[in-house]
Structure 1
Amino acid sequence: MSRLRDLLEPGRLTVIPGAPNALTARVIEDCGFDCLYVTGAGVANTHLGVPDIGLLGFGELVTHVAAIRSAVDLPLIVDADTGFGNALNVRRTVRELERAGADAIQLEDQTFPKRCGHFAGKDVIPVAEMVAKIGAAVDARHSADTLIVARTDARAITGLDDACARANRYREAGADILFVEAPTSEAEIETVAARVAGPKILNLVVGGVTPMLPEKRLAELGYSIVLHANLPLLAGLRGMQDALNLLRDTGSVDESRIATWSERQRLVRRAEFEELEARYATADAEVRP
Structure 2
Amino acid sequence: MSLSKLLSRQNDILVMPGVYDALTAKIAEQVGFEAIFQTGYGTSASLLALPDFGFLSITETVENARRITRAVDIPLIVDVDTGYGNPLTVSKLVNDLQRIGASGIFLEDQVWPKRCGHMMGKEVIDSQEYIQKLRSAIDAKKQNSDFIIVARTDAMAPLGIEEAIKRGKLYREIGADVVFVEAPRSLEDMKKIADQIDGPLVANMIEEGMTPNLTSAELLELGYKIALFPLSGLYSSAFAIFETFKTLKETGTTKTLKDKMMKFKEFNKLVSLDKYMTMENKYV
TM-score, normalization by structure 1 = 0.94
C-alpha displacement of 1:216: 2.0
Equivalent position of 1:264 in the other structure = 267
**Partner letter of residue 18 of structure 2?**
G
**Partner letter of residue 7 of structure 1?**
L
C-alpha displacement of 1:87: 0.8
Q: Give unpaired runs (5+ residues) of structure 2.
A: none
Instruction: State which drifts further: 245-254 or 41-50.
Output: 245-254
C-alpha displacement of 1:185: 0.8
Q: Secondary structure at the match of 1:106?
A: strand
Q: Give unpaired runs (5+ residues) of structure 1.
A: 282-289
Q: CA RMSD in A?
A: 1.1
C-alpha displacement of 1:162: 0.6
Equivalent position of 2:162 in the other structure = 161
Equivalent position of 1:127 in the other structure = 127
User: Whole-Å Cα distance in 2 between the matches of residues 4 and 185 of structure 1?
Assistant: 29
1:1-12 correspondence runs (5 A)? 3-8=2-7, 9-12=9-12
Equivalent position of 1:239 in the other structure = 240
Equivalent position of 2:141 in the other structure = 141
Contact 1:186 1:213 in 2 (8 A): no
Q: Give deviations 1:22-65, integer Å, cap 9, x for gaps.
A: 00000111111111001111010001110001111111111111
Q: Secondary structure at the match of 2:283?
A: helix
Q: Following TM superposition, where does structure 1 have runs of at least 4 consecutive aligned residues deviating by more than 4 angstroms?
A: none
User: Whole-Å Cα distance in 2 between the matches of residues 17 and 193 of structure 1?
Assistant: 21
1:1-289 correspondence runs (5 A)? 3-8=2-7, 9-142=9-142, 143-253=144-254, 254-281=257-284
Contact 1:19 1:232 in 2 (8 A): yes
User: Whole-Å Cα distance in 2 between the matches of residues 60 and 272 of structure 1?
Assistant: 30
Q: Give deviations 1:236-269, integer Å, cap 9, x for gaps.
A: 0111112112212222212101111112111111
Q: Secondary structure at the match of 1:66?
A: helix
TM-score, normalization by structure 2 = 0.96
User: Whole-Å Cα distance in 2 between the matches of residues 101 and 116 of structure 1?
Assistant: 26
Contact 2:203 2:227 in 1 (8 A): yes
User: Whole-Å Cα distance in 1 between the matches of residues 150 and 218 of structure 2?
Assistant: 23
User: Whole-Å Cα distance in 1 between the matches of residues 266 and 61 of structure 2?
Assistant: 28
User: Whole-Å Cα distance in 2 between the matches of residues 123 and 141 of structure 1?
Assistant: 28
Q: Who wins on radius of gyration, i.e. which is larger?
A: 1
Contact 1:10 1:224 in 2 (8 A): no
C-alpha displacement of 1:100: 1.7
